[in-house]
Amino acid sequence: MPFASQYPRITRTRRTEDLCGTWDFQFDPKAEGVEAGWAKNGLPDPIDMPVPASFNDVFTDKWSREYYGDFWYARRVFVPGEWRDRNVDLRFDSATHRATVYVNGVELASHEGGFTPFAARMNDAVRWDDWNYVAVRMNNVLTEQTIPLGGTATMRDGTKIAAPYFDFFNYSGLQRKVRMLATPTERVEDVSLVTSLDGADALVDFRVETSGSHQVEVSLCDPDGSVAASAIGKAGQLRVRDARLWNLRAPELYTVWVRVTDGERLVDEWYDVVGLRTVEVRGRQILVNGKPVYLKGFGRHEDSPIHGRGFDPVVNKRDFELLKWMGANSFRTSHYPYAEEQLYEADREGFFVIDEVAAVGLLRSTKNFADAVAGATGETIFDDPRIQTETLAAHLQAVRELVARDKNHACVCAWSLFNEPDFSSQAAVPYAEKVFSLCRELDPQRRPRSYTNVTRCRAGIDKCTHLADFMMLNRYDGWYVCGGPRIEDARQILIDEMHKWEELEPDKPFMFTEYGTDTMAGVHKLPSVMWSEEYQLEFFRVQHEVFDMFDWVVGEQPWNLCDFQTTEGIMRVDGNKKGAFTRDRQPKAVAFLLRDRWTQIPDYRDKQAEQR
């Protein structure tokens, strides 16, 4: 799906129409909509539903909020007659977790995976210069063969509810933008860019795919709009003299223009906004533009009140303002690819993004927050033949779509290919090798690859560390392990493990991608107790003391930026409360502790590394 991975642009040859707004919506608990002709005749009893949004938190009844199964979106769309000689596509930025698209009752496309875009070609079904009926049948059921993984629980009355293998709510629906695109029949379909440095110059290797054979022209405009370099051909190299590089918290952005021409006639043009930078792991450091960095930031969630996981540009902007206020320079897209608009904002703000595949739940548990720290039991989910075939196929496809969508973003500096997998069994190795290998094959920039190591697979247990270019540790020593009065034991447990990692992986950088405590804002206790703001402060001071003992720790990303919604349970008080901020984006005391620390740590380590 190369074209679906291109961000929609309006140019001299391209048009887009925003289809966000109010759609018809209806649940289909008996999965009868297809046979009943809903795709052609309309939904029999629809309600209004905003797009983009998660449908769950719109409702006031629990049945609707927890709904699990088939559901439909529909609306009428006018297609102009002047688009008759173009490709007309419906582009869904995401549809969670699977979707089938119909136009005027004709099935056009299906897609599996709730966090990457896909397109449906309308031409064969459309009525030109007329209104057309668009219907989308969706389903939000999780299995062990989906990415992410989960299961189904059945209540006594037969009602099915989600049993996710992850600790965040299974928000669903059309949660990102929907657009109608009109593009030339011969068009630019894919562009790949790779930057290398030659003194003060940047060399940008490019490769373009089109649907035809006409000449391709590529030009790169600097941040002031002047043409910095240009070339002709579908592949080649641009030399940018005295390049203005994209750096952490100091980004410079260029615009790449790709045009297809037939003599003097413009056939197609598309552009993107890009940054010129290199990223690599060398020894025990992560380098951006050849300089070692120290990463400060968070694991996050696309999660906010009422919207659920639905993209909201206001919430997105607020989150970036919080990150900047704290002195952060990075985040991980835990635990799925985020909306493309978030990545473009990260490009503009100069954030190092660890882009994560939605491969969460490769640990067979609906209480993963507890089982993640339990001892390894021998047999794991990777010993299941269906995991090694069907789940692997879904996982590989998710990697293909993620890399295709995000490969040109300067902010995307690393890939996270699993979150907290149970790698304690040798059976995990061939599975993980295939995922890591495909990512390296697909990514033209050959970014560093990793995964988050879970507590149950501490140093010496994890069988797949050899695959990671750098190690990411999720640790809750002091919370799930030895919490409360035993926090000093937790400190020593973590120190001992770090010394063991030093022996096992002496040539890799490490970072902490999760650490934290559930904390109820406004709960205070002297001396501290778990769930109080004082205990969260005590926990973070202990963690940072340990981090600073090891100069090969190159980053810290606490869990989480903000409190977020989860499945109900006795360990969760209306969601996960590990945020430095509340769900409505107000600070807890720990936010000020982190701000004081991070504003004193440079983004680029250089000589300061020896002084920490």
Which of the residues are catalytic?
Answer: 420, 514
Q: What are the DSSP calls for 544-562, one per residue?
A: HHHHTT-TTEEEE--B-SB
Q: Look at phi and psi of residue 55 and say left if phi exceeds 0, alpha if psi is from -120 to 50, else beta.
A: alpha
Token pair for 595: 């701000």
Cα 419–chain centre separation: 12
> Considering only CA atoms, which of 34, 316, 320, 37 is closest in space to residue 177?
316
C-alpha–C-alpha distance, residues 236 and 174, integer Å: 39
CA end-to-end span of the chain: 46
- β-partners of residue 481 are 477
Q: What are the DSSP calls for 160-214, one per residue?
A: EEEEESSSS----B--S-EEEEEE-SS-EEEEEEEEEEETTEEEEEEEEEESS-S
Task: Work out whether the CA dihedral 413, 554, 358, 463 comes out positive or negative.
Answer: positive
Burial of 119 (0-12, 13-18, 19+ CB in 10 A): buried
Question: Which contacts of 130-133 are long-range, i.e. CB under 8 A and separated by 24 or more positions?
Answer: 130/78, 130/79, 131/76, 131/77, 131/78, 132/76, 132/77, 132/78, 132/79, 132/103, 132/104, 133/40, 133/42, 133/74, 133/75, 133/76, 133/77, 133/103, 133/104, 133/105
- CB-based contact 581:526 (threshold 8 Å): no
562 φ, ψ to 5°?
-135, 155
24 φ, ψ to 5°?
-75, 150
C-alpha–C-alpha distance, residues 611 and 457, integer Å: 32
514 φ, ψ to 5°?
-150, 135
C-alpha–C-alpha distance, residues 221 and 469, integer Å: 33
Q: At what angle do helices 313-325 and 340-349 cross, to 10 degrees?
A: 30
3-class SS of residue 464:
coil
Pairing of the two strands 449-453 and 471-474 = parallel
Give Rg (Cα) of the chain.
24
Q: Look at phi and psi of residue 57 and say left if phi exceeds 0, alpha if psi is from -120 to 50, else beta.
A: alpha
Q: How many residues does the chain have?
A: 612
* Amino acid type, 340: E
- CB-based contact 171:145 (threshold 8 Å): no
Q: Look at phi and psi of residue 144 and say left if phi exceeds 0, alpha if psi is from -120 to 50, else beta.
A: alpha
* Amino acid type, 406: D
- CB-based contact 180:17 (threshold 8 Å): yes
